[in-house]
Amino acid sequence: MTVRTIRIFGDPVLRAACEPVGEIDDGIRGLVQDLLDSVALPGRAGVAAPQIGVAARAFSYNVDGDIGYVLNPVLEVSGEPEPTGEGCLSVPGLWHDAMRHPWARVTGTDLDGEEIVIEGEGLLAQALQHECDHLDGMLYLERLPKDVRRQAMREVRESDWF
């Protein structure tokens, strides 16, 4: 079991768009295992590859005891975005209302090249959107209204980890 250290706000890997996963080799298999091990800890709904320092389009999720992963996800959303309480392992200690769609679906592949479809509402929809944002180099802070984002950035600057 390899639980990887989570990269924190300010690390350049969190701001870069990730490359698609190509050939499935031992490196990708190891990445997936590390993502699954890292998301299995209590209180974690998702871990994206850049959060453990790898700029690849892959993430793991852990919602209501359902743990899995997806490679090269393509996100679809439905419904009007609404404020949803959200935090991020890469921005520890902060919790704000980010704008998220109430339903989401991700289509991608597994390690065997087979199609995976994950869809849902509530926390699962939020996690799918949050993790796909990471793969595009976006943190949830960018989904906050301008005045709330300004306050959140103040909290980041005042945090003991920044």
Task: Tell me which residues are annotated as active site.
Answer: 131
Q: Quick check: 10 and 162 in contact, CB under 8 A?
A: yes
- Give residues with Cβ within 8 angstroms of 108, minimum separation 6: 70, 71, 72, 73, 74, 115, 116
Determine the length of the chain: 162
Q: Which residue is it, tokens 């289509």?
A: 107
Angular region, 113: left φ>0, alpha ψ -120 to 50, beta rest: left
CA dist 155 and 82 (Å) reads 23
